[in-house]
Amino acid sequence: MATLLLDIVTTSSMLFIIAAGLMIILGVMKLINFAHGAFLTVGGYSAHVVTNAGFNAWLTIPAAAVVGFLLGIVVERVILRPLYDRPLDAILATWGLGIVIAQIITFIFGRGVQFAESPISGTTDLLSVGYSSWRLVLVVVALALGAALTALLYYTRFGLNARAVIMNENLARGLGIDSVRVRAVTFGLGAALACAAGALITPLLSIDPNMGLPWLVNSFMLVLVSGVAIPGLALASLLLGGAQVLVSTFVSPIIGGITIVVLAAVILRIRPGGLSRG
Amino acid sequence: MKLTHLAGSVLLLAAMTSGAAAQEDPIKIGIPVGLSGANSVVAPSVVQSSELAAEEINANGGILGRKVKLVVADDGSGAQGAQSAFNSLVFQDDVDVLISMETSAARNAGLPIVNRAGKPYIYTSFYEGHSCSPWMYVDAWVPEQQVTPIVDHFMKEEGAKSFYLIGSDYAFGRGMLEFTRQYIEKSGGKVLGEEYLPMDGSDWTAIISDLKSKNPDALITSTAGGAPNVTLTKQLRNAGVTIPYGNLAVDEGTAKSMGSDASGIFISQSYLTGISSKENKKFLAAMEKKFGSGLKTPNDLSVPQYEAIYLYKAAVEKAGSTDPQAVVDALPEVSFKGPRGVIKMDKQHHTPLTMYLGQVKDDGSVKVINTFKDVDPGDQCPNL
């Protein structure tokens, strides 16, 4: 029972961490970033490069975030900015970008599986069961991330500007907010979060050119169900992640794999705006 | 008179040259292999060992005085790619034989083409067993040969009575564990759980929690190679699972790169680089010399491929020609002493093999724990 509870909490945390970057970009830019899976992969490979070079495994996370931020800034400037008036084309462009990134990674590192060292391994005793330490770390990271993103949006100048752009971009621009800069920083931030998430899940996964792909669909569903808000995303992760664990445990892990997608479709049928909006 | 004489000698000359040309026509060996797709990581090692075999044979006078030529085609690791690869090899390149390591999906798609064309086909990949054709021979292991050493070792040496099985949801994964379950139950053991995840699945959380709650004595896994195998092993280690762990899908190379996570895993293979025979040392040295730093570590897929090319050579020499029917009839009669020992495909088109039970050490090397001599493949194709 304790294990089941921990499974639910840790799985939800993992989903929250992975989906956060996608949600930030969708929220501010109204853009579904289909390169999100590829950004996760870039994060995994960043971790591989960092530990291979002999650095401490904890450095993989900030390093991946920096790589992601720079990548995001460049992608925004070169690929997305010219397409802001053509939102559908911009979405297609991110999809193509995902393929290009995966191929570049294959070209450099090959198709095979790569490895990175884990910051910690083994188990910790909690609620009288020995449970994976790294999964518990992910819970702490998810909580910190949620708090940090909330603080960023509600207690900083950038957050205020971002919220203004979300509500009414034209009006915000009229008031002198540099919406182009807000978009650029947002995309960089979203990519940084995605890459850091990629580094954070590598202790539990293999690093290969398609490692991020299976997470893309689930993240996408979570973000839609969340209604694009941080508390909504937390709730969606807990709800859908929990359902996935329950179905996997009591029905079948194979059906568990499609739980999030099916449940998300049902929720969106009942509440088209997601959990946060009426 | 003089003119006819000249014409005659021209004719004679023409006959001689064309005769010589026929003599020099190479024997073509078709190699459909998964250069792209799921097998793309291991395929280069298979191509390398084929190249070495061809080079060695050609340096020693070829087969019946004819050179050997390899025709490699990408089967995309799947059914669709295999169909076009087999079609072009058989009907356009008109190869004399097909020798290949492939996925089961690719083999199943290619086999009807082989049957229709009537070409000898040596399949060199371990697989789930019971694939039969009068034209096909297999020189790699089937579940009967790979699983039994691990289960026997766990029950006798580790005192395991209850088992838990985890696999990827596809023909090979399910086929292997199906046999494993039957064999465990026949041997008096109990299977506490048997769970699968789709091939691209990476979240083993629920399965591992179930495993821990059932508390079995030993664990046997049969995932797809590469990513699923790595994610499962990492998550098992992260969850603190330390019971004896037999992995049916890990090879030496993967074990090495996985580092400490792979430590302690039991593997069962017909080839390990550590085999100390003269033939294996010679083979490894030749591979090293030919490919240098570009060498892909020889493994349980590339070595059977190497040996199969020599088995084909022996069969052609015994038959005295490349006539398909004569070669197929000769294949079970001939043997070749290769890196894995003496290989003879004489058991219902399959091969009794010496199996090695190895355990991965902390540094990623594999230590041979036990050797099982000439393990029988069982009744694979009783109707052939």
Q: Are residues B280 and B338 in the same domain?
A: yes
Q: How far is B194 from chain A (nearest CA, A)?
A: 11
With respect to residue B20, please indicate whether it lies within any of the assigned structural domains. yes
Q: Across chain A, what does the average pLDDT equal?
A: 90
Do B300 and B224 lie in a common domain?
Answer: no
Residues B47 and B67 in one domain: yes
Inter-chain CB proximity B205 and A248 less than 8 Å: yes
Are both B42 and B161 inside the same structural domain?
Answer: no
User: From the CA of A165, how many Å to the nearest CA of chain B?
Assistant: 37
3-state secondary structure of B27: strand
- Same domain (yes/no): B106, B186: no
Residue B77 in domain = yes
Same domain, B363 and B233: yes
Q: What is the nearest CA distance from B200 to chain A, expressed in angstroms?
A: 7
Quote the ipTM score: 0.80
Q: What is the pLDDT along chain B (384 residues), one digit of tens a residue?
A: 455 555 555 544 444 444 444 456 899 999 999 988 778 878 899 999 999 999 999 999 999 999 999 999 999 888 999 999 999 999 999 999 999 999 888 999 999 999 999 999 999 999 888 999 999 999 999 999 999 999 999 999 999 999 999 999 888 888 899 999 999 999 999 999 999 998 878 889 889 989 988 999 999 999 887 788 888 998 998 888 999 999 988 878 778 777 778 889 999 999 998 888 999 999 999 999 999 998 988 999 999 999 999 999 999 999 999 999 999 999 999 999 999 999 999 999 999 999 999 999 888 888 888 899 999 999 999 987
Average pLDDT over residues A182-188: 92
* Domain CATH code at residue B77: 3.40.50.2300
**Does the distance separating the beta carbons of B197 and A253 come in below 8 Å?**
yes
In this structure, the answer to whether residues B16 and B134 fall within a common structural domain is yes
In the beta sheet, which residues pair with residue B97? B29
Residue B4 lies in a domain: no
DSSP one-letter string for B298-349:
P-TTHHHHHHHHHHHHHHHHHHTS--HHHHHHHGGG--EEETTEEE---BTT
Interface test with A, best of B39, B235, B238, B362 (most A CBs within 10 A): B238
Q: Does B238 touch chain A (CB under 8 A)?
A: yes
Whether residue B383 lies inside any domain: the answer is no
Asked if B94 is an interface residue toward chain A (Cβ–Cβ < 8 A), one would say no
Query: B363 is written with which tokens?
Result: 């540094």
DSSP states of B191-257 as a string?
EEEEEEE-TT----HHHHHHHHHH--SEEEEEPPTTHHHHHHHHHHHHTT--S-EEESS--HHHHHH
Residue A83 CB neighbours (<10 A): 16
A273 touches B at CB < 8 Å? no
Whole-angstrom distance, CA of residue A212 vs CA of residue A233: 19
Residues B54 and B155 in one domain: no
pTM for the full predicted model: 0.81
- B380 found inside a domain: no
CA–CA dist A63, B353 (Å, integer): 49
Across the interface, do B203 and A132 touch by the CB < 8 Å criterion? no
Give the integer Cα–Cα distance in Å for A65 and A180.
Answer: 22
* Residue B201 sits in the same domain as residue B340: no
Residue in B with minimal Cα distance to A109? B41
Within this chain, do residues B265 and B342 fall inside the same structural domain, yes or no?
A: no
Residue B233 counted as domain residue: yes
Place of tokens 């931030």: A189
User: With an 8 Å Cβ cutoff, is B226 touching chain A?
Assistant: yes
* CA nearest to A120 within chain B: B238
B53: tokens are 């075999």
CA A6 distance to own-chain centroid: 21
Residue in chain B nearest A257 by alpha carbon: B201
Domain of B73, in residue numbers: 10-141+275-351
Query: Is residue B1 in some structural domain?
Result: no
In a domain, B384, yes or no: no
C-beta atoms of A257 and B202 within 8 A: no
Shared domain check, B239 and B162:
yes
Nearest CA distance, A175 vs chain B (angstrom) = 47
B79 and B214 both lie in a single domain? no
Q: Choosing among A121, A201, A204, which should be mutated to test the B contact, i.e. which has the most B CBs within 10 A?
A: A204
Number of domains in chain B: 2
